[in-house]
């Protein structure tokens, strides 16, 4: 006989898209309401479900190689921002860029460019190969040293003084720990905390949210840097936290009858997907 689990499910109201992602998606939807298709350079957001929803509306995801061969078209620049070389190519290929770069990322790009122009040695705490980080490194003609962990710097001959920046979605605690460690190693560090407060404020909110539930379902795309950081916060304060990217990954064995379940997500997780997970859990 089928047993009804009768789960009490609550979505974290502070979860979901940050304003930069909302802005980029609204821009894409406005254009697709008028036109049959729109090119987007890279995934508009690191969430496969949301990307699928928008490609169904006519969004065409392309990479930098495909951009080289594109002419006389409109191309959306997503919230992560782009390197100067992309804008140069757009001029050459007569491309109209719909620039949805996040204002926080643009401000950081400008600061890094200024540091570089002033001949400062630049270190960037960020994920290798991440779209935002590629755009940041592009402000320095690729000269900035990118690292995602302190251990990477152990065998590197660093200059005596340098300027330290961070990808906008990194952990503030980790950034300040890295700064302190580098100073304790004898380096003169000019540190710029460029972490987005809409993201970093989520740590405290999430910490308060997850302790109220028996189980936490954290919904995020696997490519999301911010998702990994926020899931770690969930796991730290509620050991019964589970990471999923879609409802297909939910496992009934995680739950007990009458469990209180909290659903949270990354800044790249759409609210409609969390609501879908809620409906599915309530059907158990």
Tokens 């960020």, located at residue: 126
Cα 54 from Cα 99, distance rounded (Å):
17
Quick one: which of 191, 187, 57 has its CA closest to 115? 191
What is the dihedral sign for C-alpha 257, 262, 266, 269?
A: positive
CA angle 139, 192, 142 (to 5 degrees): 20
The answer to whether residues 143 and 121 touch, using CB atoms and an 8 Å cutoff, is no
Residues 29, 132, 152, 188: which is the catalytic one? 132
Our CA angle for 239, 241, 242, nearest 5°, is 140
3-state helix, strand, coil in the chain (%, to 5): 45, 20, 40
Of the candidates 41, 23, 267, which has an alpha carbon nearest to the alpha carbon of residue 169? Answer: 267
Buried b (16+ CB within 10 A) or exposed e, 174-195: bbeebbeebeeeebebebbebb
The helix (run of H) or strand (run of E) holding residue 122 is: strand 122-125
132 classed as catalytic: yes
Q: How many helices (H) and strands (E) are present in the chain, helices listed first? A: 10, 12
Catalytic annotation, residues: 132
């Amino acid at each position: 006989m089928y047993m009804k689990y009768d789960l009490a499910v609550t979505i974290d109201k502070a979860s979901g898209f940050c304003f930069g992602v909302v802005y980029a998606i609204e821009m894409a939807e406005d254009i697709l309401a008028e036109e049959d298709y729109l090119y987007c350079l890279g995934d508009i957001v690191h969430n496969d479900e949301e990307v699928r929803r928008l490609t169904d509306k006519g969004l065409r995801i392309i990479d930098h190689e495909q951009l080289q061969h594109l002419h006389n078209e409109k191309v959306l620049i997503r919230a992560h921002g782009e390197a100067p070389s992309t804008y140069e190519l757009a001029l050459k290929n007569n491309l109209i860029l719909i620039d949805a770069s996040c204002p926080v990322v643009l401000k950081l790009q400008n600061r890094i460019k200024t540091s570089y122009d002033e001949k400062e040695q630049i270190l960037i705490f960020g994920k290798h190969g991440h779209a935002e980080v590629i755009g940041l490194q592009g402000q320095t003609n690729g000269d900035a040293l990118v690292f995602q962990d302190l251990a990477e710097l152990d065998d590197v001959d660093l200059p005596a003084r340098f300027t330290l920046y961070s990808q906008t979605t990194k952990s503030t605690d980790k950034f300040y720990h890295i700064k302190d460690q580098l100073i304790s190693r004898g380096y003169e560090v000019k540190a710029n905390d460029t972490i987005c407060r809409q993201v970093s404020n989520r740590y405290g909110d999430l910490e308060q949210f997850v302790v109220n539930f028996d189980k936490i379902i954290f919904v995020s795309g696997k490519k999301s840097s911010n998702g990994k950081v926020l899931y770690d916060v969930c796991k730290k304060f509620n050991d019964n936290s589970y990471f999923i990217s879609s409802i297909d990954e939910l496992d009934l064995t995680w739950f007990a009858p009458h469990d209180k379940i909290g659903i949270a997500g990354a800044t790249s997780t759409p609210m409609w997907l969390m609501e879908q997970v809620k409906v599915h859990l309530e059907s158990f």
